[in-house]
Amino acid sequence: MKLDHKATAPLVVLLMMILMPPAKALPEDREQPIRITADSASRFEATGETHYKGNVELTQGSLRINADQIVVQQQQNSGGVIVATGKPARLEQTPTEERGPVSAAAERIEYRQDIDTVRLVQNARIEQEGAVVTGATIDYEVSAQQVRASAAAGTVDKQRVEVIIPPSALERSSDPQ
């Protein structure tokens, strides 16, 4: 049986929304200072960018990003953009005190503060408490609590979207609240 991937995409998004809880950060995370450590840092005032290279670690509250390089872009009249790259770059954050941490990895992680989105690009993977979503690209709209995963354009069997649903998630999603 051949699946129409365009027709199944809404089903995958629905499953991810039901089974993967919102990845909002602990409320106090945004109020914490951002701390970045690296082997080197270079600031470019003309472009508003700071480049951190070599074993880079960014922390803010429960948020932790580890990467080979992080670029922080500060833009006037809008929030900043944080781009982490690595083989892979990794992100971990605890969404609530009741849930386990969300772990994500990709070769490129982009966080846009102005529109409150996280994009995982190339070999993207996000997991929490046994639920796993992989794909070429994963977008998470934090405010809307929506996750979208997509396969690489033009692929047949490589880097397709995969969702792994543990039995415990199915039990949790069927419990009346």
How far is 152 from 122, CA to CA, in rounded Å? Answer: 8
Could you tell me the residue ranges of all domains in the chain? Answer: 5-174
Beta bridge partner(s), residue 35: 59
User: Which residues lie across from 133 on neighbouring strands?
Assistant: 126, 163
5 phi, psi to nearest 5 deg:
-65, -30
Considering the chain, what percentage of its residues have pLDDT values greater than 70?
A: 71
Which of 22, 54, 29 has its CA nearest to residue 40? 54
What span, in angstroms and rounded, lies between the C-alpha atoms of 161 and 158? Answer: 9
Each residue of 110-158: pLDDT tens digit?
A: 988 777 789 999 999 999 888 899 999 999 876 666 789 998 876 666 6
- Tokens at 151, concatenated: 């396969």
CATH fold of 5-174 reads lipopolysaccharide transport protein A fold (2.60.450)
- CA contacts within 13 A on the Cβ side of 139: 12
**Cα-based angle 163, 113, 37 (whole degrees, multiple of 5):** 90
Q: Which pTM does this prediction carry? A: 0.76
